[in-house]
Amino acid sequence: MNSINTHVKALALLFVFVIGLTMVQQPGVFAQTEDNSQQTASIFNPIANFLGFSGNNNTESTASTTSNTPSLTGTLSSFFGINTPTGQNDSSTTTAESVNTARMVLGGQTPILICVPSTVGAAEEVIVMWACRDEATSTEGDGFETDGETIGSVRVQPTEGTTYTVTCLNESTDTDDTAASCNVVVAEPALTITATPNAVPFGDTTVLAWSTTDTQSCTLTSDAHFGFKRNGTQGQITTPGITKDTTFTLTCESTSGLLVRTEVEVDAN
């Protein structure tokens, strides 16, 4: 589950960066008033707290926002393994380099649409985050509601594999609308384990066979044999001697990170 949390935080960082980039590229979209600055903070602070950063409720100027952009760029660039120039003192130069680096990572003016996580179990929620990076004035969502917002997030609960799409709409007839999609897989883990035979004379062995679907790791254990452990999402083994009624348990982690298990009992006659 730690790897999933890390993945979620990395994507949340990406989303924060996109919002910051949008503000740098389109300063006119975010008028520098106290109310709008507080509105911007209301977007950043919950995500910052989730990432473990200290939130800042103070109103900041455009210059401050611009000067902070390279550090965000550096963080994301390091995450993606992209080297960026350092030691630049000219704010216009660093801002331009930040935008260019972001375009290398994110690509053009295509909207950002992130589904977190991209694989879930039945009845689990997905957070869909989006941000338009052009002069769009409203949006439409396919599979979720955007309420026309050009930046936002919603929670959805898919029951099957789903593709979510956001379209950024432009009022100008000279500017094409832009769109982006993300896919969510709904994992349905299935575990099967058999013992052949499932009843043996005292001290005899049996053969265990197991198979799974939509799992990423499995462990087979026994309640009667100390230290007995086998790994693998599928397999077949001969057990140690059965001297009493024994339960063999197969525990797996699904591709969505959930733990599921099944078991088989072997009787000693």
Among the listed residues 268, 205, 263, the one whose alpha carbon sits nearest the alpha carbon of residue 239: 205
Any residues with CB less than 8 A from the CB of 226 and at least 6 apart, and which?
A: none
> Is 16 in contact with 44 (CB distance < 8 Å)?
yes
Question: Per residue in 114-144, pLDDT tens?
Answer: 999 999 988 899 999 999 988 899 999 999 9
Query: 94 or 147: whose pLDDT is higher?
Result: 147
d(CA 179, CA 78): 27
d(CA 48, CA 55): 6
Task: Record the pTM.
Answer: 0.58
User: Domain residue spans in the chain?
Assistant: 1-108, 109-187, 190-268
* CATH architecture of residue range(s) 109-187: Sandwich (2.60)
* Average pLDDT score over the chain: 75
Question: Per residue in 48-83, pLDDT tens?
Answer: 544 444 444 444 444 444 444 444 444 444 444 434
**Domain 190-268 sits in CATH 2.60.40.2470:** yes
The yes-or-no answer to whether 109-187 and 190-268 have a common fold is yes
d(CA 68, CA 78): 16
Asked, as a colleague might, if the bond just before 117 is cis with ω within 30 of 0, I would say yes
97-101: long-range contacts at Cβ-Cβ below 8 A with a sequence spacing of 24 or more? Answer: 97/70, 97/73, 98/21, 98/24, 98/69, 98/70, 98/72, 98/73, 99/21, 99/24, 99/25, 101/73, 101/77
